[in-house]
Amino acid sequence: MLDLRAGLRLLLIALALLISLLVSSCKLGNSTLDEANQINQSASADINEIEKIVQENKGKEIEVTRALDREDYETARKQMNDVISAIDRGLERGESAAEKFDHASKLDIDPTIKEYLSYRAQSVNKAIEAFKELRKGIVAFRDATGSKDKAVTEKAKTDVQQASQSFDSLISEAQRLEGKADDIARRSPDKIKPGK
């Protein structure tokens, strides 16, 4: 049987990471900057929704594991469908936030804030790519759950491993980009402040 626990644990960690990637804001002041600030606040609302999704799905790993331990594959697949739906909702909100950061970065604002917002958008986009890979792995695992066909389970195992490796690589890149945004924020406390 494939190890879904690790995949679901990665999901929760990754959702928490995505939230942390998105929680800084800019100190803004004129009309264009006010527009950028409003866009940034709207992106923060998307992030708050992602946080709610994470909280709503914290127990899914345990539920799936229990169902698999009981060999209740129908329930396990239903729980995985719920996880996939949660990822989809998180992706939708993440894509919305990334678009907003990108839009704000293209406004006529201070170059430092522009660069900061650009790195935020790039970071969130990498995290989105990572979640799409994670989703592929969970779908492969769900589709193979309960199968007695060794070829199906081996293919799913390979798909899950590849998705996990891609996820790790993309999340690492998202963190690198987030680090660049954080460096800008640290160097420019008069322009950028921590969010939340």
**For residue 28, what pLDDT is reported?**
47
**For residue 17, what pLDDT is reported?**
59
Q: Is 31 helix (H, G, I), strand (E, B) or coil?
A: helix
36: which DSSP letter? Answer: H
Kindly indicate the confidence band of residue 6, based on its pLDDT and cuts at 50, 70 and 90.
low
Cα radius of gyration rounded to whole Å, the chain? 19
Q: Is 0.85 topped by the overall pTM?
A: no
Phi, psi (degrees; rounded to nearest 5) at 26: -105, 150
Q: Which residue has the higher pLDDT, 11 or 25?
A: 11
Please compute the mean of the pLDDT values over residues 24-52 and round it to a whole number.
Answer: 74
Kindly indicate the confidence band of residue 21, based on its pLDDT and cuts at 50, 70 and 90.
low
Q: Inform me whether the pLDDT recorded for 166 exceeds 80.
A: yes
Q: What is each CA distance from 121 to 30, 48, 60, 86, 182, in whole angstroms?
A: 22, 17, 29, 21, 13
Top mean-pLDDT range of 24-33, 56-65, 165-174: 165-174
**For residue 196, what pLDDT is reported?**
42
Kindly indicate the confidence band of residue 31, based on its pLDDT and cuts at 50, 70 and 90.
confident
Q: Angle, to 10 degrees, between the axis of helix 73-105 and the axis of helix 111-144?
A: 160
How confident is the model over 100-132, as pLDDT tens digits?
999 999 999 999 989 999 998 998 899 899 889
